[in-house]
Amino acid sequence: MVEQNPAVLDQVLRALADPTRRDMLRRLAAHERSVGELAEPLDMSLAAASKHIQVLERAGLVEREIQGRTHVCRLSPQPLAHVAEWLRLYEKFWNKHLDALAALLEAEDRAAKKPRKKKSAR
């Protein structure tokens, strides 16, 4: 079990709130990349990409290694475990509500399939 630390969770969720940073993480999940490689498909400057990477680093989601003049980034997935655990707290809630919805839909299907009694003509 991952220890719940509200400050860590807040920082990770803040970092994940931006679509640019989520895209960077998605690409880092495949393999490590340089800052330039992260910036290129997003059509942004190295300085702008670096600022996004700094947010990810502060959240603990990215580790950066300097190899000569190249900054190489790699995914550090451990903080995502904090988010996954926090979301699991709500899993029971959603499962309960989704089970109730499924039961309601099944009851409606059964009711719709029952043959209706014909009215007698008098």
- State the CATH number of the domain containing residue 27: 1.10.10.10
In a domain, 122, yes or no: no
In a domain, 46, yes or no: yes
Residue 33 has pLDDT above 90, yes or no: yes
Q: What is the DSSP letter of 18?
A: S
SS3 67: strand
In a domain, 89, yes or no: yes
Average pLDDT over residues 46-61: 96
Tell me what pLDDT residue 111 has.
85
Count of the separate structural domains present in the chain: 1
Average pLDDT over residues 17-24: 97
In a domain, 66, yes or no: yes
Sheet holding 62-67, edge to edge: 33-34, 70-75, 62-67
C-alpha torsion sign, points 118, 119, 121, 122: positive
Range of the domain at 20: 1-111
Task: Give dist(CA 58, CA 62) in Å, integer.
Answer: 8
Mean pLDDT of the chain: 89
User: pLDDT tens-digit profile of 54-82?
Assistant: 999 999 999 999 999 999 999 999 999 88
Residue 117 has pLDDT above 80, yes or no: no
Tell me what pLDDT residue 11 has.
95
